[in-house]
Amino acid sequence: MSIVVTGATGHLGRHVVEQLLEKVPAEQITAVVRTPEKAADLAARGVRTAVADYNAPETFDGLFAAGDKVLLISGNEFDKGRVGQHTVVIEAAKAAGVALLAYTSAPGTLTAALADDHKATEEILLASGLPYALLRNGWYNENYTENLAPALEHGAVVQAAGDGRVASAARADYAAAAVAVLTGEGHENKTYELSGDTAWTFAEYAAALSEHSGKEIAYTSVPVEAYASILTGAGVPAPLAAILAGVDASIEKGELGVVTGDLSRLTGRATTPITESIVSALKG
């Protein structure tokens, strides 16, 4: 029996594997990667690695075994048919008879186009008959704090979210919830709406950034179409820019500001405040 993590060297996957290593022996962990070189450090610590690609179904043949617990981390290739990619993993897991398939989904409150692939994947997973756990991850602090340079350079946080609130948490928090599900009992056929303990506005975010950077940072809310144009002007592909702008529209409607408490209950600790992530990012 193994705990199998797909996308194991990605932003979230690496957090999951690192935290699993604190809970279970390395030989009980299988890291599924596309580029084995990126997992060399994990392999050196005793983690089993498997090379597989969502876009190549045959690479998942025989990868899973009966009794495995699998974490399917959603793909980030928006232009390559994520639902089909996820289905490859679900079908391979079903064929193997895994004990649990946990999937990193989107909040049930989210109506933006970003949620469409997640909802479709959830439907396929539930129809498969596999024991499942839906980890409906809210927004990550790092979605904003990983790229502070433009705000610091221009003295402005520009979004299309109005006064909407974001109940975000750090990636490490969401990883801890996944680890709790993968290593715990009684999570079969459960849905967890995961969010940070505190919801903040972009005005509050800009104020915190000002306080800790020593620079005057203002928040400017622009129309959704204008924000999409700003993103494309910065080099973001137009389809992705439209998706991100749509998320801001959902934020303004309150869809990502719901505090559920599921995340801190699963992990047994408070979630990471946005200010803490800002301070960490500024320290570099």
Q: What is the pTM of this model?
A: 0.96
pLDDT tens per residue across all 284 residues of the chain: 799 999 999 999 999 999 999 999 999 999 999 999 999 999 999 999 999 998 899 999 999 999 999 999 998 776 668 899 999 999 999 999 999 999 999 999 999 999 999 999 999 999 999 999 999 999 999 999 999 999 999 999 999 999 999 999 999 999 999 999 999 999 999 999 999 999 999 999 999 999 999 999 999 999 999 999 999 999 999 999 999 999 999 999 999 999 999 999 999 999 999 999 999 999 98
Evaluate whether 138 touches 168 at the Cβ level (below 8 Å): yes
Distances (CA, A) of 195 to 70, 146, 181, 216: 22, 19, 16, 29
Distance of CA 176 to the CA centre of its chain: 12
DSSP 102-123: EEEE--TT--SGGGHHHHHHHH
The answer for residues whose C-beta is within 8 angstroms of residue 278's C-beta and 6 or more apart is 145, 148, 205, 208, 209, 212
DSSP 145-175: HTT-HHHHHHTEEEES-TT-EE--B-HHHHH
What stretch of H or E contains 137? strand 132-137
The predicted structure's pLDDT at residue 188? 97
CATH fold for domain 3-137+171-194+258-271: Rossmann fold (3.40.50)
What phi and psi values does residue 191 have, to the nearest 5 degrees? Answer: -120, 125
Question: What pLDDT does 78 receive?
Answer: 65
Query: Residue 56: phi, psi to the nearest 5?
Result: -130, 85
Question: Residue 280 forms beta bridges with which residues?
Answer: none
Which of 194, 207, 201 has its CA nearest to residue 151? Answer: 207
d(CA 177, CA 88): 24
Distance of CA 127 to the CA centre of its chain: 23
C-alpha 137/C-alpha 81 separation (Å) is 20
Per-domain residue ranges of the chain: 3-137+171-194+258-271
pLDDT of residue 149: 93
